[in-house]
């Protein structure tokens, strides 16, 4: 074998070895008070499943959600009926049908909590505001929910986002 062939095989071997390494998956722990910070939540009686949701950035207030929803209410009309309709919307800027934004992020988990701990000292977690301010970065990671229960301990579930339809 020539030097060029050996060099080429060596580079190919190194390249394939580098790509064969298992990718480390980042994770994020989200600390939520489910009663105060979510739009809805539910536990099974034996805590073997949990589901919850909270509003996305820019949709926290009812006013902001209503302003978006109002645009879709004109979609079913065949024509603008009065001057108020004309004043309130610009038909060429109406969103396309089926493109209505999803106001909330919903998560669920089936299975017992992965951990039950007595203290959160030393745990690197984030709050809901930090999560929604950079949701696209966090949604690509493995997500855990940290929730304080009545006895003062904390339960941690691995959760997954509910897919959008």
User: Is residue 14 in some structural domain?
Assistant: no
User: Is residue 36 in some structural domain?
Assistant: yes
- Residues 51 and 112 reside in one and the same domain: yes
- Residues 51 and 123 reside in one and the same domain: yes
pLDDT tens digits, residue range 2-17? 787 766 666 666 766 6
Share of the chain above pLDDT 90, in %: 0
Residue 157: count other Cβ atoms within 10 Å of its Cβ. Answer: 24
> Cα separation of 146 and 33, whole Å?
9
Which pLDDT value is given to residue 39?
84
Question: 126: domain range?
Answer: 22-56+105-165
Which pLDDT value is given to residue 21?
53
Phi, psi dihedrals of residue 11, rounded to the nearest 5°: -65, -40
Residue 155: count other Cβ atoms within 10 Å of its Cβ. Answer: 18
User: Is residue 17 in some structural domain?
Assistant: no
Phi, psi dihedrals of residue 52, rounded to the nearest 5°: -160, 165
Which pLDDT value is given to residue 33?
82
pLDDT tens digits, residue range 57-105? 888 888 888 877 776 665 555 455 555 655 565 555 455 555 567 788 8
- Residues 69 and 130 reside in one and the same domain: no
Q: Is 24 a residue whose pLDDT tops 60?
A: no
Q: Is 113 within 8 Å of 156 (Cβ atoms)?
A: yes
Mean pLDDT of the chain, nearest integer: 76
> Cα separation of 91 and 71, whole Å?
9
- Total residue length of the chain: 165
Average pLDDT of the segment spanning 139-144: 86
* pTM > 0.75: yes or no: no
Three-state SS for 41?
Answer: strand
Q: Is 53 within 8 Å of 160 (Cβ atoms)?
A: no
* Among 18-32, 59-73, 81-95, 139-153, the least confident range: 81-95
> Cα separation of 83 and 114, whole Å?
58
Task: Report which DSSP code applies to 21.
Answer: S
- Residues 115 and 164 reside in one and the same domain: yes
Which pLDDT value is given to residue 86?
54
Domain boundary among 78, 100, 122: 100
- Residues 131 and 74 reside in one and the same domain: no
Average pLDDT of the segment spanning 41-57: 82
> Cα separation of 142 and 106, whole Å?
15
């Amino acid at each position: 074998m020539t030097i060029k062939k050996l060099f080429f095989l060596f580079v190919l071997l190194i390249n394939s070895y580098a790509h064969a390494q298992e990718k480390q998956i980042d994770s994020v722990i989200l600390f939520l008070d489910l009663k105060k910070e979510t739009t809805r939540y539910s536990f099974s009686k034996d805590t073997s499943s949990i589901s919850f949701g909270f509003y996305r950035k820019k949709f926290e207030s009812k006013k902001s959600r209503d302003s978006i929803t109002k645009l879709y209410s004109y979609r079913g009309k065949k024509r603008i009926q009065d001057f108020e309709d004309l004043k309130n919307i610009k038909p060429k800027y109406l969103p396309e049908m089926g493109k209505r934004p999803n106001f909330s992020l919903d998560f669920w988990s089936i299975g017992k909590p992965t951990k039950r701990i007595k203290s959160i000292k030393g745990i690197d977690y984030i709050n809901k505001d930090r999560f929604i301010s950079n949701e696209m970065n966090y949604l690509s990671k493995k997500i855990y929910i940290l929730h304080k229960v009545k006895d003062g301990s904390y339960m941690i579930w691995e959760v997954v986002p509910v897919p959008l339809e």
